[in-house]
Amino acid sequence: MDSIYERLNNVFRDFFDDDDIELDADTTADDIEDWDSLNHITLMSAVEDEFGLRFTMGEVSGMKNVGEMAEIIKKRGKKL
């Protein structure tokens, strides 16, 4: 899981152009200033590209925090 969080940190830092982002399982959109509903879809696409998977619409809309995202990646990711 550490490597998943490391890679997610890199994606989020690049996407939001903020090297200070430090993700953990409890991180939500409320914790990152520019993470809004408009950026969410594009961010999910960047995460999908990094890990070689596609989230379902139900997964995208149902994720409550980064921990849930990491669990999905762990179960389904091809490029771990």
42: domain range? 2-76
What is the domain-level CATH number for residue 46? 1.10.1200.10
pLDDT at 80: 62
29-65 residue pLDDT tens: 999 999 998 899 999 999 999 999 999 999 998 899 9
Structure tokens at 35: 């993470």
CA distance 44 to 56: 11
H/E segment holding residue 10: helix 2-16
Q: Look up residue 61 and give its amino acid.
A: S
pLDDT band at 73 (very low <50, low <70, confident <90, very high): very high
Distance CA 21, CA 24 (A): 10
Domain tally, the chain: 1
Q: Is the pTM of this model over 0.85?
A: yes
Q: Are 66 and 8 in contact (CB under 8 A)?
A: yes
